[in-house]
Amino acid sequence: MMTLLQRFSVLFLVTIVGFVFMIPKESAAQLDSTTIRTLLEERDAEIKDLVGPKGTEYSQEQRDKLKDIINGIIDYRAMAQQALQTTYDTLSEDQREEFVDLFSTIIRDQSLNKLDIYRADVKYEKIAVDDSSATVQTLAQLEKVRTPVTYQMKFEESKDQWVVTDMIIDDVSTAGSYQRQFQNVIRKKGYDSLLETLRKRAAK
């Protein structure tokens, strides 16, 4: 069974493919699946150019750019809210900001742990758009390993941007996995313990 980190590695290999794209509100035609597929393919090419062939050495500037592209459109606040469930409602805005910042820092750092995965071939098997929501079914293949990944997305009007709210990898929801982990810690040790753990992980 894949660990959460492995799931995120696979997730990012496909995320790289491209979810950082802007779609002007005034063009409703751009909300269709054809446009999304084109944008994803363009992003995939951009990321693969950055990653380069196996054995490539990366500068810090390249790694930072890659990290930004990979993580640019993940809606960390939405994922954090789902992970914390009712605890999120009890936090002040400053506390929420800190949690989301720690949460996103950890995920962003993990995204570059295994750069080889970004060389995987990705097939977009189905892109279903329903108004401001979309479901993208993909199949990522790295050597002989094929992994189905489904993205839940929404169009964030305030940002004029599509964002990823969850990734289902091998039928396992990423947001759901974090929810189970965090809720388990909160139930046994409390929210402060969870926060302290995240602070330590983010500081590494």
Q: Which two tokens stand for residue 22?
A: 């802007």
81 or 19, higher pLDDT: 81
pLDDT (tens digit per residue) in 1-47: 455 555 555 555 545 444 444 444 444 436 777 777 777 777 777 88
CB 83 within 8 A of CB 178: yes
Average pLDDT over every residue of 96-100: 95
Look at residue 3 in the predicted model and tell me its pLDDT: 54
State how far the Cα of 117 lies from the Cα of 115, in Å rounded to an integer: 5
- Three-state SS string over 46-108 comes to HHHHHHCCCCCCCCHHHHHHHHHHHHCCECHHHHHHHHHCHHHHHCCHHHHHHHHHHHHHHHH
Look at residue 15 in the predicted model and tell me its pLDDT: 52
Q: Which residues contact 113 (CB under 8 A, 6 or more apart)?
A: 5, 9
149 or 96, higher pLDDT: 96
Look at residue 127 in the predicted model and tell me its pLDDT: 93
The CB density around residue 17, as the number of other CB atoms within 10 Å, is: 27
Q: Which residues contact 102 (CB under 8 A, 6 or more apart)?
A: 195, 198, 199, 201, 202
* H/E run at residue 29: none
Q: Is 183's pLDDT higher than 80?
A: yes
Look at residue 2 in the predicted model and tell me its pLDDT: 53
Q: Is 77's pLDDT higher than 60?
A: yes
State how far the Cα of 192 lies from the Cα of 131, in Å rounded to an integer: 39
Assign 136 a pLDDT band (cuts: 50, 70, 90): very high
Look at residue 29 in the predicted model and tell me its pLDDT: 37
Q: Is 97's pLDDT higher than 80?
A: yes
Instruction: Provide the mean pLDDT of the chain.
Output: 81
Q: What are phi and psi of 102, to 5 degrees?
A: -65, -45
Amino acid making up residue 105: T
Share of the chain above pLDDT 90, in %: 33
Helix (H/G/I), strand (E/B), else coil: 170: coil
CB 35 within 8 A of CB 23: yes
Look at residue 20 in the predicted model and tell me its pLDDT: 41
pLDDT (tens digit per residue) in 150-164: 988 888 888 777 888
